[in-house]
């Protein structure tokens, strides 16, 4: 792994302490890996001390898993943080930090944005929808798994800020499933459950509540009203619906006899859906539940080390016994040698129609925030969020002066250049201690960690988004990947590309076809044998570019 200073790895490396239970799995074969992901929940689950929602399936999983108490998204909203999950990179490093740049939310999406007809109005400037062009060396980490023989599926959400290339997944969409692999082929499969998403706070408004509003905990930044309690109860009720879907996925695995040879991850894509959680750079927006069930260690234990979403990609590669590329900014937290994080780094830039630039550092004891535009309000009047029933009430109460100091804090019209909070004494980040003389040493330490991170990450947030867009799309036009080069010799087809960062995909068919996204593209790794009467189709793809034209070879 690249030794990045901003990882601040502890010197207490677990060198040589690869657990016995883990080594046994890899001796015979590469393990299957299942990701069960959900949307928009904080650690509001029984294994984290909150039993408001009844989650028997997650409780069962937790009883046989390692529970990570300090797991964090990189951004408090889906698309930027999902870009870090699939690449192992910070969004600010690869230009995916703005929410949302494109329209690729589920399945393959469209990789041709040549005539973007939609735009986001940001402070009076139209920003067209675009597929982010990320650095040439950066790939979806699943491409490395596929090259190592894994069958990779995603069902169905992508939302990476760029269209998923055909080299990323064997199957990508609502029908994608590990069941479609070859017999004996190891799989890496992702199933995303969306019923806990923010939008279901209003989409499910006519469904019966399964959690009593009178019993829910109300955080101090909300007024204790009937509307607020009902929205909180709806969130917990949605979590219960999500739990039922978790049970279905585990039952499928068990029925197929694969539970004992499959590593299961469960996590949310970022913090909870309620106001002052989602889109925020505090714990409320970044901290998530994360559990990992290892088949050879079926007991509950807690891990208190800090884990970032940039760590997911290298961890899966290590578990799959696949080489980890040097450019990844994360570090494996299972499989050894394992390094311990000292800091979590978070960011917030444009959210829909409102632009800002905020960076945060979270340590075991403190939260440090840097506001690059302190003159901008802390609260962003995002129209999408205003569909949550409590938002009208919160805004009206704020306007009439009915909110107390803690409840008003989110609505402050300007911000300090820096913020500093004590996690144990102030878990909701409501009392800014940036000017407290008792903590200046700690503040300086976190300030230095922030400086190192921004330097090493090469923070692209300093570039105005319109300028960044034009760097990615010269003259406002989406670049296109050149066609691959092909050499046929002695029944073998060798495929090449001169485009830096491009990947190659191919289909070998016994009859002539018209390939589309679902045609079963394979990742090219070495020359392909072709027999007489067969057809080979190939294309080159680069993330953010339009795909190349398809080249056909007939033997």
Active site residues: 78
How many alpha carbons lie under 13 Å from residue 376 in its C-beta half-sphere? 16
Instruction: Specify burial of residue 474 (Cβ count, 10 A radius: 0-12, 13-18, 19+).
Output: exposed
Q: Which residues contact 446 (CB under 8 A, 6 or more apart)?
A: 343, 361, 363, 366, 368, 420
Q: Which residues contact 539 (CB under 8 A, 6 or more apart)?
A: 166, 481, 483, 484, 504, 505, 506, 521, 547, 548, 549, 550, 551
Q: What angle do CA 162, 350, 449 make, to 5 degrees?
A: 95
What H or E segment, with its residue span, contains residue 313?
A: helix 312-319
**Token duo for residue 169:** 């997944």
Q: What angle do CA 128, 165, 294 make, to 5 degrees?
A: 120
Within 349-439, strands assigned E span 358-362, 366-371, 418-422
**Backbone dihedral angles phi then psi of residue 553, each to the nearest 5 degrees:** -120, 125
Whether 202 contacts 49, CB under 8 Å: no
**Backbone dihedral angles phi then psi of residue 250, each to the nearest 5 degrees:** -70, -40
CA distances from 161 to 78, 98, 543 (A): 10, 8, 10
Task: Give the span between the Cα atoms of 64 and 84, in whole angstroms.
Answer: 27
**Backbone dihedral angles phi then psi of residue 393, each to the nearest 5 degrees:** -65, -45
Q: How many residues does the chain have?
A: 555
DSSP 3-state of 308: strand
Report how far apart the first and last C-alpha atoms of the chain are (Å, whole number): 43
CB crowding 494-531: b at 16 or more within 10 Å, else e: ebebebebbbbbbbbeeeeeebebeeebbbbeeebebe
Whether 68 contacts 43, CB under 8 Å: no
How many alpha carbons lie under 13 Å from residue 87 in its C-beta half-sphere? 33
Instruction: Report cis status (omega within 30 of 0) of the bond before 337.
Output: yes
């Amino acid at each position: 792994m690249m030794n990045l200073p901003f990882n601040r790895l502890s010197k207490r490396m677990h060198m040589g302490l690869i657990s016995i239970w883990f080594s046994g799995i890899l001796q015979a074969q590469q393990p299957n890996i299942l990701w069960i992901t959900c949307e928009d929940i904080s650690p509001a689950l029984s294994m984290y001390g909150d039993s408001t929602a009844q989650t028997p399936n997650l409780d069962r999983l937790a009883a046989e898993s390692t529970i990570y108490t300090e797991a964090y998204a990189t951004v408090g909203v889906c698309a930027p943080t999902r870009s870090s999950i699939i690449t192992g990179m910070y969004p600010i490093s690869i230009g995916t930090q703005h929410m949302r740049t494109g329209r690729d939310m589920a399945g393959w999406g469209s990789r041709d944005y040549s005539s973007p007809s939609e735009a986001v109005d940001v402070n009076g400037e139209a920003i067209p929808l675009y597929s982010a062009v990320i650095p040439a060396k950066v790939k979806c980490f699943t491409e490395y798994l596929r090259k190592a023989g894994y069958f990779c599926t995603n069902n169905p959400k992508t939302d990476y800020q760029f269209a998923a290339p055909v080299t990323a997944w064997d199957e990508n969409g609502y029908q994608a499933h590990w069941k479609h692999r070859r017999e004996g082929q190891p799989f890496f499969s992702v199933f995303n459950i969306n019923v806990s998403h923010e939008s279901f706070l209003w989409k499910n408004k006519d469904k019966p509540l399964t959690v009593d509003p009178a019993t829910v905990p109300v955080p101090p930044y909300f007024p204790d009203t009937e509307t607020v309690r009902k929205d909180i109860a709806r969130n917990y009720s949605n979590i219960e619906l999500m739990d039922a879907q978790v049970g279905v996925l585990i039952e499928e695995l068990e029925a197929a006899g694969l539970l004992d040879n499959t590593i299961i991850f469960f996590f949310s894509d970022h913090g909870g859906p309620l106001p002052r959680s989602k889109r925020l750079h505090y714990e409320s927006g970044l901290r998530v539940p994360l559990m990992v069930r290892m088949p050879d260690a079926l007991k509950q234990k807690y891990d208190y080390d800090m884990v970032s979403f940039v760590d997911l990609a290298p961890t899966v590669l290590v578990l799959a016994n696949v080489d980890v590329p040097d450019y990844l900014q994360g570090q494996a937290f299972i499989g050894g040698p394992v390094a311990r994080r000292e800091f979590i780094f978070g960011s917030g830039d444009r959210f829909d129609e409102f632009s800002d630039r905020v960076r945060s550092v979270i340590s075991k004891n403190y939260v440090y925030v840097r506001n690059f535009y302190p003159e901008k309000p802390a609260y962003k009047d995002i129209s999408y969020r205003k569909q949550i029933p409590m938002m009208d009430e919160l805004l009206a109460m704020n306007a009439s002066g009915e909110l107390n100091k803690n409840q008003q804090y989110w609505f402050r019209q300007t911000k300090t250049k820096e913020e500093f909070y004590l996690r144990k004494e102030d878990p909701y980040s409501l009392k800014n201690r940036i000017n407290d003389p008792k903590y200046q040493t700690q503040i300086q330490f976190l300030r230095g960690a922030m400086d190192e991170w921004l330097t090493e990450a090469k923070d692209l947030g300093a570039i105005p988004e319109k300028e960044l867009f034009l760097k990615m799309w010269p003259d406002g036009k989406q670049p296109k990947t050149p066609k691959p080069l092909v050499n046929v010799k002695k029944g073998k087809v060798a495929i090449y590309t001169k485009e830096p960062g491009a990947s190659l995909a191919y289909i070998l068919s016994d009859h002539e076809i018209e390939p589309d996204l679902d045609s079963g593209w394979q990742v090219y790794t070495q020359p392909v044998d072709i027999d007489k009467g067969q057809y080979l189709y190939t294309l080159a793809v680069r993330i953010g570019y339009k795909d190349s034209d398809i080249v056909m070879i007939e033997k």
